Amino acid sequence: MSDDQTPARDAAGTSDWFLPSPDAVACALAGLARERGASVRVCLEPAHVLATSPDPRRRVALVSGGGSGHEPLHSGFVGRGGLDAAVPGQVFASPHNRQVHAAARAAAKPGGVLLVVKNYTGDVINFGIAAERLRAEGTAVETVLVDDDLATEVEGSATGRRGTGATVLVEKVLGAAADTGASLDELADLGRRVVAASRSLAVATRAHTVPGGRGPAFELGGDELEHGVGIHGERAVSTVQRRPAAEVVDRVVAQLLEHVPVGEQGCAVLVNGLGAATGLELHAVLDRVVRDLAGRGVPVAAAFAGTYVAALDMRGFSVTLTALEPGWLELLRAPTATALPVAEPVGEAVGAPHDGTDGSDDAGTTGNSFVTGLQALVERLHGALTRLDRVGGDGDFGDNLASGVRAAARRGPADGVVAGLRAAESAFLDDVGGSSGPLFGLVLQQVRGAFEAGEPGADALRRGLGEAAGAVTRVGGAQAGDRTMLDALVAGAQAPGALADVVRAAADGADATAAMTPRRGRASYVGERAIGTPDAGAVGVALVLAALADAVEPAGDLAGELAGRWG
């Protein structure tokens, strides 16, 4: 790792990482030995990891390695069905040729050693020197060079493409083939064909944090995306404007398909996390990739999602496509005792997810003034609602409210305030999780019932809010003064005057929660730390009421008034 990648520690000598010093890699390897002592042997001098019980049919040892910080690659891939040895360097630094030589000598089998090397200069040189030393000692050696990174496919470059995510599929296929007793030449040829049939591309919204330092290795704006990053934290050739996730994925897939001609055997897809992307995100990306490929007539025979090649804690993912040849799918499905993925038949979820790319989430889908007005208001204040909820919750309230309104919009055309209330009621009760969604559905149910029973106006709204307050108390046990949505409901229910007065009273009730110590809900865990900002749920109630009042009395603009108050 170069000096310019290592920011200074702060005055207290701390960093963002929970890593002991000075030799963090050795400490991590010692921990690996404690976890997997029955299946691997860890040697610290020189550092390498060996499989203790490889398949007895193996005639050739598989050895790979590279810089640390990419876990589980490569140490996690050691074991039956995977590598015979892995050689870890320091963070983002090639292992020394002495390590590679020692690991390969210890793992070598009668049929020789196959080195799997990612195309980085340090790795190529050190594995190459180790290969020469082994040959001089009489050991048969072949090398498979993985160079799958599409972002570094530069015409005329002597260095060539980087080795990235395809390494996982290469090592899985080779591990399974080695367990069948394949020869050195057979394995080398197989590995090279898998590499040639594979390309990868990675994107990121945040750089990794360098051990020993604080903050990201490079800065990106909130609307920026690095398109084509490397697994050592290298920046892409270009920084692009961040687009919705589906558009980002579609662009990646389109670029990969230009270089991966998929035949009748189909392809394998690997969505790999770069360290900070969640499983939730990676599986959503995988679904989008498979749906995109299906729409282009490209069959997917194997699909994987997970963090296999991290770039420390980089916030991003890579997609690898491998055009399969006959027999490769069976090798991908072979069992392994390692962290390598095992292919299962590609499935399909019942129903269809809504990612907004079919227009189903567009504002105005219902044509209902209440729903479309609320949708516009929530979109405008989404960030403010998120910030409020972070004080006393987990920051998801803005997303939950927006999700409910989008679900209401998808319910189709509906005329009139009551119809809009019914659509929103159903959406929040049935489609939004957590506690806030169903509670909002309950509130909307009571307000809708009051409006159906009489002429929509101030009296109906007061009655609906009073009944809603009672329902919320029965379900959740909250009382006025507990700093919840109930404080806005009660304030509105007790307000005299016209419709606008009821809404403003509810908004004042929401603002009053800023002085309250929370006694209910998730905010109760932070206690007095929540004082100073209003409860997000109470603010959300006032926003719903403002959109409702503007739909009943179109000449008003309570939505704009409250947006100015909290925006």
DSSP letter string, 67-78: EESSTTTTGGGB
CB 221 within 8 A of CB 207: no
The full DSSP string for 102-155 is: HHHHHH-BTTBEEEEEES-HHHHHHHHHHHHHHHHTT--EEEEEE--BGGG--T
Per-residue confidence (pLDDT) for residue 363, from 0 to 100? 42
How far apart CA 432 and CA 95 sit, in angstroms, is 50
CB 560 within 8 A of CB 553: no
Interacting residues of 358 by C-beta distance below 8 A, sequence separation 6+: none
CB neighbours of residue 455 within 10 Å: 8
Identity (one letter) of the amino acid at 314?
M
Show Cβ contacts of residue 258 under 8 Å, excluding neighbours closer than 6 positions.
Answer: none
The angle subtended at Cα 401 by Cα 399 and Cα 402, nearest 5°, is: 65
pLDDT score recorded for residue 9: 42
Strand 47-51 to strand 141-146: parallel, antiparallel, or no bridges (unpaired)? Answer: unpaired
Give the pLDDT confidence score for residue 167 in this predicted structure.
Answer: 98
Q: Provide the whole-model pTM.
A: 0.81
**Max CA-CA distance within the chain?**
96
How far apart are the C-alpha atoms of 483 and 218, rounded to whole Å?
41
Give pLDDT, residue 238: 81
In this predicted structure, what is the pLDDT of residue 224?
A: 93
Residue 232 bears catalytic tag: yes
Angle between helices 436-453 and 397-409 (to 10 degrees): 50
**Distance of alpha carbon 528 from alpha carbon 531, whole angstroms:** 5
The whole-angstrom distance between residue 558's C-alpha and the CA centroid of its chain comes to 38
What's the token pair of residue 442? 């309950």
Type of residue numbered 102: A
Structure tokens, 538 = 């109470």
Tell me which residue of 310, 302, 314, 381 sits closest to 346, measured CA to CA: 302
User: What gap in Å lies between CA 540 and CA 546, rounded to an integer?
Assistant: 10
pLDDT of residue 3: 34
Residue located via tokens 């069976």: 330
d(CA 227, CA 213): 25
Look at residues 88, 109, 101, 99 and name the one whose alpha carbon lies nearest to residue 133.
Answer: 101
Distance CA 284, CA 271 (A): 10
Helix (H), strand (E) at residue 562: helix 558-566
Q: Which residues pair with 300 in a beta bridge?
A: 267
Task: Tally the residues of the chain.
Answer: 567
**φ and ψ at residue 300, rounded to 5 degrees:** -110, 120
pLDDT in tens, 354-364: 665 654 444 44
The H-assigned helical ranges of 120-244 are 121-136, 166-178, 184-196
Q: pLDDT tens digits, residue range 284-341?
A: 999 999 999 999 999 999 999 999 999 999 999 999 999 999 999 999 999 999 999 9
User: What pLDDT, on a 0 to 100 scale, did the predictor assign at position 18?
Assistant: 83
Instruction: Name the residue with tokens 């009943």.
Output: 552
Give me the catalytic one of 48, 101, 232, 283.
Answer: 232
What is the pLDDT, as a whole number, of residue 362? 45
- Positions of E strands within 371-441: none
Question: What would the DSSP string read from start to end of 483-543?
Answer: SSHHHHHHHHHT--SSHHHHHHHHHHHHHHGGGSPP-SSGGGGTGGGGTTS--HHHHHHHH
> Do 373 and 553 form a contact (C-beta atoms < 8 A)?
no
Q: What distance in Å separates the CA atoms of residue 189 and residue 144, rounded to the nearest whole number?
A: 8
Structure tokens at 248: 């980002």
Under-70 pLDDT residues of the chain: 1-15, 156, 213, 352, 354-366, 393-394, 412-413, 522-523
Q: Say which residues have a Cβ less than 8 Å from residue 61's Cβ, sequence separation at least 6.
A: 54, 84, 85, 104, 107, 108, 109, 112, 113, 114
Q: What is the 3-state secondary structure (H, E, C) of 245-271?
A: HHHHHHHHHHHHHCCCCCCCCCEEEEE
Q: 3-state DSSP call for residue 203? A: strand
